[in-house]
Structure formats: C-alpha cells, structure tokens
Amino acid sequence: MTSEVFLQKLEQGGLAPPEIVASLRRQVAAAKQPIVPATIAKLLVDKGHLTPNQAYRLLDAGGTASAAPKPAAPAPATKPAGASAIQKPAAAPVHSSSALDDLGLAPLDDLPEPPAKGPAKPAVNQAVAAPAKPAGAKPAPAVVKAPADTPFALDDLGLAPLDDLPELPATPAKAASAVSKAPAAPAKTIPAKPALAPTVTPIALDDLGLAPLDDLSEPTPAATPAKSASKPATAPAAKPAPANKPAIPVAPLSAPAPAASGLDDLTALDDLGSAGLDSLESLDSLNNDNPLGSAALDPFATPADLNSLSAPPPAAKPGSGTQPAPAAPTAIAVATENRQTLWVGIGIGSVALLVVIVGLALFLWPRGSGQEEFAAAEQAYQEKQYAAAIPKYDQLLKTFPNHDQASLAKVHRSMAAIHAAHSSPPDWPRLLTAMQQEAGTLASESAAAQIHTELAPLLLPLTEYFGAQLLQAKSADERQASAASVRASLALCNDARLLPANLRPWQKLAEIEESLQFIARDELRAQAREQARQTITTKLAAGDVQGALAARSTLLLHFPEVASEPFWQELAAPLAEAAQRAVKSSGDKRPAETAAAKSAVLNTIPWQQLTGQASGVANGTVVTVVAGGTIYALDESTGDVRWSRYLGCPANVASFPQTSGSSLLVDFARRELLQVSTQTGQLAWRQPLASDPVGAPLVVEGKAYVSLSTGELNCFDAASGELLAHAQLPQTVTLGLQATADGQQLIQVANEGLLYVLNAADLNCQRAVYLGHDAGSIVDPPLEFLSRLVMAENVGNQTKLNSISLTGSSAETKSQRVDGNVSTPLLVVGSRLLVPTLAGKIHVLEAATEGGEPLKLVSSHSPATAEPVACYLSASGGGLLCAGQGLSQLTLGADKKLQPAWSAVTTATFDAAAQSQNQTTIAVHHDAGQGITWATAVSSAAGAPRWQVPLSLPLSLVSRASGEALPLIIPWQNIPASPTAATSAIHRADQLGAVALNEKQLLLFAIGKSELSLVDSSEATGTAPMTRTRKLPGVVAGMPALCGQQLLVPLTDGTIACLNPQTGEPLAAPFALATKSADFSGLPSSPAAIVGSSLFVSELGGTLRQFLLPDLTPGPETNLSGARLSFGPHALGDAILFATSRDELQCLQADGSRRWRMTLTHGPFIGTPLVHGTHWLLLTQSGVVEVRAAETGELVQSIDCGQPLQGTSLLAGNTLWLPATSGQVLQLSLAREQVQP
C-alpha cells in the first residue's frame, strides 16, 4: 500500500481532519525520498489522532506486509549448558527501548529461568527481557513463525483471558496517564534482528475500553519530558540486551496520551489551523532524525515494523520449544493489581473492625459505680485535707463524668482549691486569685447553694481587707492596685449565685463601694488638676489669658472643691502677670453727637400729662428714680412726672449720677451714653457704645467711665461727651467700675478670677490681682472700707467677704464669711460695714483688731416680716434706710445692734434703695397683682406719708369727644382686679382687658370679676370721661365680643351673657354652649369671635370650636394639636385670627377653613389687632408692631418702638397710639409709603 492509498483510507474513514490529511499529502509530495504509510501512521499515533490499533488496522487492511521483502530468519544458536531448553523467537530490530521503559517493564533476559515443565511467568508490570547469552556464542537461529491459529497458552504465562479481565475505564486518557507515571529509561542501542511478522488480530478498541478518535474530546497536552523526568523512577532500568539475543516485542497497554511523546518540537495537528498546516515539520526530517523515539520505524519500514510496537505478539508454534511473548501483559498487570488492592482493602478493613471491637470491649468492661471514689474524696474534704481531696475529685470526675453527685463534686473541688489558698496568716491576694479562678464553676453548678454559708466567711473579710488597703494606700500605684482588688472582690460579693442577699452585709459593702468611688474621684481630680495646670501654663506662655481661665473654669465645673486648694496659689502670680500684660489701652478720641437717634416713634408722652395729672412744669426740686428699666423725673413736692425715658437698664442699676443740673444716663436698649437735662429731660449729647454696657456710669473729677460687657473700658469727658481713652481687658465683665477714695485708681472686677487696677487718667493697667472667684459670684462692685477694698462673693449659701489691701507692691487678700447670699450693694456707715442678704438679714461688721481675719461680725438684724425679702440699704441724715418688705429707718445703738425708728408702707415690696432729699424720703415699689409701679414719698423724720403716684400701669386709649389729636387715657387702676384662686386656672395670663366699641366708647373688664365698666369720652367732664359699671350674671372668663348690637361675654360657668353694649342691660338669659362633654375642659377659655353667622371659641383642651348662629349648632372643629390659644380668636373682617402656644399665627375663613399659617418672629402678641386698609396691625410684648397682609399673612413691615408695650392701642387715621410698660404713650405714623414692602 502506498502513502496515497493510506491517506485515502484515512480520509474515507474520517479518522483525521481534512486539513491534516491535506497537509500530509503536501509533505508526502514534497519529500525528497518516498514515505511509507507506517511513518505517517506513527506520526498520527504519536500526535494522538490515531490509536495504535487504528493504525494497525489501516496498515493491515492495505496489505502493507507485502510492501517489503521479509528478511530470512537467522540460524538458531546453540544453548549453553545450564540454560533453558526453550527457544525464544527473535524480535524485530528496535532502535530504542523507551516503550518498554515507559511501561516500567524489564527485558526478558533479566527474568529467572522458568521451570522445565513450562514457560516461566513474568512479573507483573515488569518488562520481559531476553536471557543473557554467554560470551562467544554463535548467533541464534531464526525462529520458525508460529501459525496464526495456534494460540499461546495464557495459563502457562500466568495471564488471564481478556474476557476475565476487569473492564478498563471508558476514557483512554486515564489508562494512558497510568502508564505515563513511570519515567522513561534511557534509550538503548540493540543490533538489528530479523523481525517476526505479526499474525495476531489486533485487539478491538471496545475490548480495551477506548473510544474512537472522533468521540474523544479535545486532547489534553501531556506533561513534557522535563516534568516527567523530575519524578523518581519506580521501575528498575532494563539491562542491555546481548547482541546475540533477540528482544521480544511487547504490545502497548493502551492508546498513548493525547500529546505526542518524542515529537514535542512539532505542533499538535489538532492545534494547526489552515494557516498553520504548512508549518508542520516535513516528513523528511522525521525519516532522517527518527523523531518517533520509541518505535523501530524508519522511512522505509514495513507494516511489520509498526506491528512490532502496536500489534500483539505472535503465538508460538506447537512443539517448537520456543516461548511466545505475552499477549497483553499490561491488562494482566491491571487485573493482578486489582486483586492485590482488593485483598489489601479487605485486610485494612479487618484490622479497623478488630480495633473497634477491642475499644468497645474495653469501654464496656465493668468499672464500678464511682461511689467509693466519691466517698473517698468527700472524706478528705470533710477532714479538711484539701490538697488530697483535689486529685481525688479530679479522678472521680474524669472516670465518672456522669456521676449523680458530679455537681457537688465540682463544687467541693472548687472549694477545696479556695480553702487550700486560704493559709494562716491569710494570704488575701492569693485567696482572691483562687476565688476568681473557681467562681465560674461555683456559679454554674446547681449544688452551689450548699456552700453559700461556707463561702460567705471568706468573701466578706476578703473585701474588707482590700477596702482597708485602699484607704491606707499612699502612692498612686498602690491606690490603683488596691482599687482593682476591691472591684474584683465586690464583684464576687454582689454575685447572687455566690452570695445570696440574705448573707450579704449591704451596709458594709455600700461603705466599701463609697470609699472606692471617693478614691476613684480623687484619682480623676488629680489627673484633671495636673492637666489643667499644664494647659494654664501653656496658655499663659502664649498670652492667652481667656484660654487659661477657660481651663480653670472647666476644672472647677467638674471638681468645685479644687477652688480652695493651694494649687491655685502657685498659678496666681503668673496668671495675674499675664493678665496685666494683656490689657491694651489707647488714647483715641471721638466726639459725641448732639442729634437724637432716628426712631419710628414720633413722640413719647408720660400718661400723666395726657390725663392732666401732671403739667410737665417743675414747680420745685426734681428727683429721679429708676423702676422697670425706666428713669422718671418727679417733682419732689407733688410727685408729678416731669419727664421719663425708657433705658432698658437691669435691676441692679438703681440710680444715675448728676452733674451741674444734668444727668448722665446709659441707654442699655440703644447702647448709648446720654447727657440730659435733669429738669426737662432734654438731650444734650449722646455717645454710641461699641457693645452692651454694664452698670451705671462712674463720674470722677469731670470724667465719666463706662464698662462694656466685652471687657472694654471707656473714658469720656463728662461735659462734652468726647471719648478720651479706652482700654481692652482680656476678659469679659458684668459689673461697672469703682474708684478709690482719692480718685486716682479705678477698680474693675472681671467676670471670673481676676480684679484689675487701672490708672484713672489714661486707663493703663497698674496691676492685676487673682481673686479666684467663679463667674457670676460677685454681683456688686467693690467699695472701699478702712483703706481696703471689700467685695462680696457668693459661695454656696454663704457670702465670702474679700478684703484686699492695695498699698505696697503686692496685693494682700483676706476673707471673712457670713451666712446668706448677697444680691444688693453693701453699705459703709462710719466704721462699720453693713451686709444685706437675700433672706432679709443685715450683718454688721467692723475692723478686727486681732486675729488673722480683717473683719469681725458684731451683730445681725433679722427682718420683722415672716416672708424674707431682699433689702436695699441707703444712708440718711437720721440713720439707715432699709427698703424691702416695707420702708423703715434703722439706727445703730450702743450695743451695736440695729433698731427700727419708724416703718411705712409695710405691705409694699420695694425695688430699689430709698433716697432722701430735703427731709423727704422717696422710694419705688410695685404691685404685682395690678401690674402697677408706684413712687411713694414719706417724711424722713417720722415716716409720715406725703404723696403716692403711679409711674406705670396698663392703659387703654380712646378718642377724645372734641376730636383732638391726643387720645383719652383710661388708667386701669380704677378697676381693682386680682383673680381668685378658684378661677385662676381657667383664664389667660393677662387678667385685664378692654374692648373698643367705637372710637369714643371703651369697655373695660377684669377676668375673674363679675362686672364691666363702660367708658364714654363723649360725656366727659373736662379730662375725666364718664364711667358706668354694670353687674354680670356670672364671673368673666374671657374677652367679650361685639356681635352687631349685642355684646357677648363668656362666663366661667360655661354660659355666655348677651348684653346691650351701650347700657349693659341683658338682652337674653345666659345660654350654654353644646360642648362635647360636661367636664371642666369644655368651658370656654378664650374670647369669643363672631364672623358672619359663626361663633368661634376655644376650649381649655386646645380645640377651637365653631357654632352656627343663631341656634349655636356645632360646626367643624379645628384641632390645635394640644396647643393652647395664647392670642385670640379675634374677628377681623371676614376672617378669624389667633395664635397658639407653639408660636404659630393662624387665620381661618368664616367657614372654618384655614387661610394661612405663619410662625411668630417677635414674640407673643398683646391687645387687639387693628385693621389698616388691606393690612393688619399686631402689637407684641417686645415693642414691635407687625404689619401683615390680610390675605396672605406676609410680614410687610416691622416697626420697633424701642420698649415693651402693654394695654390697648388706638388707631386714628394714619396715627397709631401705643401704651408702653414705662407708662409712656408712643405716637407712630403709618403713612401709606411706610407700610409698603
């Protein structure tokens, strides 16, 4: 068969891809010498595209055996003595023995001689080699070819028939991989021998468990020779065959691995594409270089040459005496190996089963119940042989873990360990360690209850010992270690599983825990103190005095007791020096302004002048008093108010200085320093201030000094108001300046910690003194007493009097404490210092003549009233004036005790110190029930009353009958009203109110009273309007509402009175509202407002109710989500306006639907809203008039009046009259252009 015929059969059988067949045809055609089919077949086998049996069938079917002449068999060789008589056939020439090596088989020459009765059986998985030939022997004669139909005797070779062999794996690759595990032996050179033509039919692929090439998946590349070489050899290397002995060819076990072996330099055929087929190494090179490696083929080999590797060996002829080669040694080896594996598995399984049986037997062997072991352990425990009991318990629990007394055994074992650690004398740390180790076992066992009484005598002394150690610890390390031990022992004592409540000494444990907390706090305090020290030192080095004081405040906030420690004395000097360096002074000047500041208020008129009670012309001496943030200039003889000015000053400012007929004032609301005429109140000049002022101005030798809250100090010319100098402290201040007796130095107390001494001429800081006071603890400026500065500092419920000497280079500070806190200024009377307290007690002190304290308490005066009230002290020619609960004059007797000389107005509470002038004592007090501030004058000699005038009170305004521009003032004090306890819970905070019926008629009412007052200015006599009083059928509960010609008044019994607004006569019997329930919450608690045919009223529960007139059918409800009405409801045109306690302003339509809702921006409203065109005017308590659009609620304009408002306002055209809390009536202009956005 030619190569072309072979390729045709290969192509027809579909055993190789067409592109590979085409590539082979090209190479065959281009070969320099003819290529036999065997070479092509071998290449395809090596490349994994044909199995050896497929190649053998192709070659045998084509008659390849006749393609080459068969060589003559050589003459048989003479067997030497002692050799086997069996003749062996000569093998075909083999160029390499790698095939045998790959199978791990040794040459037949290495096999032992078989017995005479039959051929020897080769070893499993070992190659068969030819027997060794003695030296000098002649070549062996040619072996006669056995007939094809004479099979080898498999039994003689020790092989099983193929039918008896176990089935091979379905995947050829697995068999190939098993063979490839044995590394290849080095190639051997063997002389050429005559080949035996194979006559045995090749084994079918199905018999070997191999799949056709078409059924195989993509071949997997095999390991490279280098990788195979890295594995240790498991089969012995074949010995070289003698030259005169033929090698017996052995058929391969299975198909080779998919990857080629020995042709690795060629690209696998499957991986070649159409473009890569031409790159296949030419077949000429295969012929010249013998790339097949393990096959005895060359370019001109015959099919017998290929059969020598791929076909089964021929069977020996009967009677020839020759031993045939094994038919399939690899399959037999597999079978034998399987049998061996089976027997090995059976043996291993038998051994494992035997081990399990022996283990079970040992486990089930009778061992006893464990009672004897438990009794032995318990005996040792009860005899207190704890060291011996512990191993006995351990052995018991190990041998009998499920013993019925296992829990008790564990508990006693743990207690034995604890007792063993409790030596004599006691080693408490060791005992604590043992308890901590055994606590888990004791707490988790059910038998632990049996040892509670045994454990308690150990736990309690243990805890007490460590508690005592904690108190005795000296160093921080000792305290830390003792504290840890105390915590651990307390944790054991507080564990109810170890120590039940009935055995726990609660009081003793509480004392130990308290000691632990004290020690812990001490440690924290020490750490915080050291941290504060470092921070203060760092801040002072950087010149940050405020930062250093902030660190001090933080420390004192958490540990107030540190304030009295000597720790601060170390920091006092550096802190004072840094503060002094931080004060910056400047001589910049700024002139004052003479024009008044711009304001929306056109005029400010005292209400007394509008009623004709004061003429405004001073007939005598004018005195000024301060009350409610307002200064009033009063006629000393009559009490008439000459002028007034709202300043917004705090309560601790009770007076202002006067110079040459002028008064220096501080407007706290507008941040200005003012000079006004004392007689008329006319403005002379004003000087704006940079920030909020504190305290009244200080006037010294023609200069006025004002302190600002930011720590800025200003010096002005008292006559012209020009700014002369200013200084900036590194701290904030809350008090004004104080001068020394000579006027050369100024004293400024900072908000905390320090006091500054400045030069009065240029405000340069001369020194700073560390006082160590807390922020806000000093409420009044210091004063000079016996050449020392004295200031009162509130510390707890006592007053600490600090006495400072400023003579010398260093400031000496001493202190004295008295009971009670101070809220009003101290007073010096001669050689004695008077200290008033919040409880109304007055302490009298004088300079100490001996001892370390600078002052000595000589007496204390208690108030005569049962309820203590702070008192204001002032000096008078006849003694000491005390204004508190009533006004009295006190004298200091020979026994150094205060005695009352006279008392006046004992039911009033005074707000400031009294002042005496021209034998008249004037003081200011207030009536909290009516909201009225009064000025009272009495005789300085005996306290006889002279006059009493109201300074401020709620006012209502109506138009005059004559049509004059000024409104008619209706003072509310004409209606004495104070709510009763029975009704105070159901009405609003403002108990007095007024309803304007028209511009000339005003209806006055008081919640909680059962009468109304109708004021009619059209029937006025002079300046006094006519007033009618009408009785009601019940008590007024809210604001009345005008509904056409009917006046509806809500009453506290839930009914509504219907009256004639002109006469007050009832028009119908009181009717009740249809409330949801009959309880108290259904009573009306707000004014009633009527819009169209609907009546709106609020219930106490927060629901706004609507009723349809005239039959008062309940309408829809507006839920206010729990909020209370704080303003309204008021009827404005066709809408209802009200505000809630949640700072919301809402507007409803007549049908109850919401028109708009807004958030309040200037606080709560007062009075009644006014309608001005398409805008609504709403007055706030803070003094702002809001102008809002009626349709949208948008805030169009805000007018700041500069002071709080109260009472009922009056709108006359574009002029708005507003009553203020100061008793002034303010005039505003509402020109059209002013109300535009």
d(CA 921, CA 924): 10
Q: In what order do the strands lie in the sheet with 1046-1050?
A: 1041-1043, 1046-1050, 1055-1059, 1066-1072
Q: What's the pLDDT tens digit per position in 76-96?
A: 444 443 433 334 444 333 343
Q: Which of 173-187, 602-616, 739-753, 1057-1071 has the highest mean pLDDT?
A: 739-753
Q: Higher confidence at residue 945 or residue 850?
A: 945
Contacts (Cβ under 8 Å, ≥6 apart) of 168: 175, 208, 209, 210, 254, 331, 334
Q: According to the model, what pLDDT value does residue 1101 have?
A: 61
Residue 819 has which token pair? 């009971």
pLDDT at position 42 over 90: no
Q: According to the model, what pLDDT value does residue 1055 have?
A: 84
What are residue 789's DSSP bridge partners? 784, 804
What are residue 1228's DSSP bridge partners? 601, 1216
d(CA 478, CA 472): 9
Buried b or exposed e, range 1130-1165, using 16+ CB within 10 angstroms: bbbeebbbbbbeeebbbbbebebeebbebebebeeb
Residue 1091 has which token pair? 């819009």
One-letter-per-residue 3-state SS of 954-968: CEEEECCCCCCCCCE
Chain centre to alpha carbon of residue 725:
51
Cβ–Cβ < 8 Å for 1056, 1096? no
Q: Looking at 164-173, 326-335, 981-990, which range is the least confident one?
A: 981-990
Q: According to the model, what pLDDT value does residue 834 have?
A: 93
Residue with tokens 């360096």: 581
Helix axes 3-12 and 52-61, enclosed angle (nearest 10): 120
Q: In what order do the strands lie in the sheet with 1154-1159?
A: 1125-1132, 1135-1140, 1144-1149, 1154-1159
Q: What's the pLDDT tens digit per position in 1124-1171?
A: 888 888 888 889 999 988 889 999 988 888 899 999 888 889 888 999
Mean pLDDT of 435-447: 91
Q: According to the model, what pLDDT value does residue 615 have?
A: 47
Q: According to the model, what pLDDT value does residue 885 have?
A: 86
Q: What's the pLDDT tens digit per position in 1086-1133?
A: 667 888 888 888 776 667 888 887 777 888 777 777 788 888 888 888
Q: What's the pLDDT tens digit per position in 931-946?
A: 788 899 999 888 899 9
Q: According to the model, what pLDDT value does residue 98 have?
A: 37
Q: According to the model, what pLDDT value does residue 423 have?
A: 81
- Backbone φ and ψ for 274, nearest 5 degrees, come out as -65, -30
pLDDT bin (cut points 50, 70, 90) of residue 1003 is: confident
d(CA 838, CA 133): 138
Q: What's the pLDDT tens digit per position in 251-291?
A: 443 334 333 333 333 333 444 333 333 434 444 444 433 33
Three-state secondary structure call for residue 221: coil
pLDDT at position 691 over 90: yes
Q: For 253, what's the count of Cα atoms within 13 Å in the CB-facing half-sphere? A: 30
d(CA 1136, CA 1138): 7
pLDDT bin (cut points 50, 70, 90) of residue 565 is: confident
Q: According to the model, what pLDDT value does residue 165 have?
A: 42
Rounded mean pLDDT of the chain?
A: 74
Q: Which of 722-731, 992-1001, 1028-1037 has the highest mean pLDDT?
A: 722-731
DSSP notation for 1161-1173:
SS--EEEEEEEET
Residue 860 has which token pair? 């204390």
Residue 50 has which token pair? 């044909």
What are residue 857's DSSP bridge partners? 845
pLDDT at position 202 over 60: no
